[in-house]
Structure 1
Amino acid sequence: MRAAVLEAHGEPLEIADIDRPTADPDGVVIETEACGICRSDWHAWQGDWGWLGLEAQPGQVLGHEPAGRVVEVGENVENVAEGDHVAVPFNLGDGSCPECRRGHSNTCENVMPLGFVEQAPGAFAEELHVPVADHNAVHLPDGVSSTDMAGLGCRFMTSFHALAHRADVGAGDWVAVHGCGGVGLSAVHIADALGANVVAVDLQEEKLEKAKSLGAVETVDASDTDDVPDAVKALAGGGTQVSVDALGIETTCQNSVLSLGNRGQHVQIGLTTQDEQGMVSLPTDAMVMQEIEFIGSLGMPPTRYDEIFRLVASGKLDPSAVVSETVGLDDVPEKLDAMTDYETVGIPVIDEF
């Protein structure tokens, strides 16, 4: 089968023929109908996250936002059948550790990050193996296309978990979103659906215009603003209740914290780059004096996907609105390269393999 394979960090992915996967007793194989191209794939391509033990190695098939149809089922699988239409979370859980049993499989003690480690080859491929399928394969509602749901496996559900579960977003609250890539635009759309007033912050006018179309009531062009936190505070009447760093660089993290009012909540979604390597300085005295909370948020437990599906069914959420374009597998190297200079808008999705 065809797949996009990491040859060397920073070098174009190779579109190669590799062996198709086979289902282990607890797993399934899906035919990949769509897969988002995410900035996390760019990080893997660059060789980032060695400080987390997640530096993708040569030979790794990348891709972690898939949806497709089940074509092979392991003998022990009970709840997934051939032909089922499923999505797959990027943080695969084992379904049995204490975290998984408590409903927090996004922080599974034996997590397998899809597309980042050898034991979990990714979805930039015609077919994909899903381990512990009864736990990790999420059935999609009738009438939902794989393309529309491809971004659900990472960026959209990551933003949903951050704002609906980790932060305390109420109707009428001000929420700032720093960085309007795919996860940031998803956060804008979700915060708007939760009744918040959203301030979107980015360096590019095209992304700010997209944020407006997804519900942002105010925008801040960071390329034309001397003091981003002051600008956000002026728009939000003195400071936001919630602020999100959706990029993961030192500047956006610090700006997010400094945009908050008293007892505000900073939510960290973006993971850092080689420049920060996981360490960012913070205005700790201001955080103490204002009683600011710093909240980390990773992925989303697949057992809670139904919350998103209900909001989609009601028309309050539309994950497809964040999908910017569909491309072929051969286009993946070019799209990853474009992310180096933040040239992509929204979520590009592979729908031809």
Structure 2
Amino acid sequence: MKAVVYDDYGAVPAVTEVPAPACPPGGAVLEVRATGVCRSDWHAWRGHDPVPLPHVPGHEWAGVVAEVGADVTLWRPGDRVTVPFVCGCGTCAYCLAGDAQVCPRQTQPGFTGPGSFAERVAIHAADTNLVALPDSVDFVTAASLGCRFATAFRAVTAHGRVGTGDWLAVHGCGGVGLSAVMIGVALGARVVAVDIAAVALDRARALGAEHVVAATADTAATIRELTGGGATVSIDALGSPRTAAASVRCLRRRGRHVQAGLLLAGPTPLPMDVVVAHELAIHGTHGLAAAGYPPLLAMIADGTLRPELLVGKVIGLDDAPAALAAMDHPPADAGMTVVALGADHGAAT
């Protein structure tokens, strides 16, 4: 099959022929119809997040079941599906409780093994990890959920518990941040979006953010003033010591901070004196398990959420290496890129 491969960190990726994956006993092989190009893929390519080499990147995808293992009971070839970027083992206490996103034996295609910048990809524990796609949700839209929109959905709903009238601050308006803005607005929150790039702030405003703030050393104070005392919920969607601290400091008393952006540079100091004095809650968030997808997909199917609006361009597999390498530089726009494979990357007919 064709796949994008790089042999070393930072080496130019290339589309090449590789062996098609074998089907795991309790797993499945999927024909990839669409896959997102995510900054997490870039981090792995640059060596910030070690992966086995040579490597096939890609962890946000949707497609069609091509083959299932003998122990699989819920799926069959031809089913339209997507997959969380964290795949649980299916047998531990966390998976059985619906929390596969923190499975101790998790696999992550695109990180722990070959990913979805390929015509086919294999996953383990298909009955735990596959998610059925409604016919109204096309493959490009489903791939755009990936880690970005799905991570934002869990951050805003499960950890942030955002409700009507709550102030939601979003620090960093990339894929996760803009997704959080859209989800917060859909839930009736009053959103403050923060970024350093005007194009990102313009996109956040278009998605319904009530205020947009150019990030400065006084970002937290600005948000507290705009919101009359601080945000109810604040999300660091970028992942830096500065944005994490600003997210905590901008909260009102008994507010909730959610860390969605990866903090890859090591330990990050937070103002724990404020956390204690104001009884703040701090949550980490790590994707969305398959068990958490039904309410997200229902909101997409009925038009409450429109993640397709966050897709900037759709490219072919041959253009994926250049799209990955282009993340070395600031994006020209705030839209995400999705790779489409095959003639049919739309909804079922």
- Aligned: 1:153 with 2:142: no
Give 1:195 shift. 1.0
- Aligned: 1:162 with 2:155: yes
User: Deviations along 1:298-325, whole A, 9 cap, x unmatched?
Assistant: 1112112110122112221112121111
Structure 1 alignment gaps of length 5 or more = 50-54
> What is residue 227 of structure 1 aligned with on the other side?
218
Structure 2 alignment gaps of length 5 or more = 343-349
User: Deviations along 1:57-114, whole A, 9 cap, x unmatched?
Assistant: 3212110001001112222211111111000111011111011111111111211122
> What is residue 254 of structure 1 aligned with on the other side?
245
Contact 2:3 2:117 in 1 (8 A): yes
Distance 1:255 1:338, change over 3 A: farther
For residue 144 of structure 2, give the secondary structure of its aligned residue in structure 1.
helix
For residue 44 of structure 2, give the secondary structure of its aligned residue in structure 1.
helix
Give 1:297 shift. 0.7
Q: Which moved more, 1:76-85 or 1:309-318?
A: 309-318
* Aligned mate of 1:352, from 338, 341, 344: 341
The separation in 2 between residues aligned to 1:342 and 1:100, in whole angstroms, is: 38
For residue 34 of structure 2, give the secondary structure of its aligned residue in structure 1.
strand
TM-score, normalised relative to structure 1: 0.93
> What is residue 132 of structure 2 aligned with on the other side?
139
Contact 2:137 2:301 in 1 (8 A): no
Please list, as runs of the form range in 1=range in 2, the aligned pairs for 1:179-190 lying within 5 A after superposition: 179-190=172-183
Q: How many residues align?
A: 341
> What is residue 331 of structure 1 aligned with on the other side?
319
TM-score, normalised relative to structure 2: 0.94
The separation in 2 between residues aligned to 1:19 and 1:226, in whole angstroms, is: 51
> What is residue 9 of structure 2 aligned with on the other side?
9
For residue 191 of structure 1, give the secondary structure of its aligned residue in structure 2.
helix
* Aligned mate of 1:218, from 208, 211, 219: 211
Q: Percent identity?
A: 43
The separation in 2 between residues aligned to 1:73 and 1:159, in whole angstroms, is: 30
Please list, as runs of the form range in 1=range in 2, the aligned pairs for 1:171-210 lying within 5 A after superposition: 171-210=164-203
Distance 1:6 1:91, change over 3 A: same
The separation in 1 between residues aligned to 2:237 and 2:192, in whole angstroms, is: 13
- Aligned: 1:272 with 2:263: yes
* Amino acid of the structure 2 residue aligned with 1:29: V
The separation in 2 between residues aligned to 1:134 and 1:179, in whole angstroms, is: 35
Please list, as runs of the form range in 1=range in 2, the aligned pairs for 1:59-78 lying within 5 A after superposition: 59-78=54-73
* Aligned mate of 1:80, from 65, 75, 78: 75
Please list, as runs of the form range in 1=range in 2, the aligned pairs for 1:112-123 lying within 5 A after superposition: 112-117=107-112, 120-123=113-116
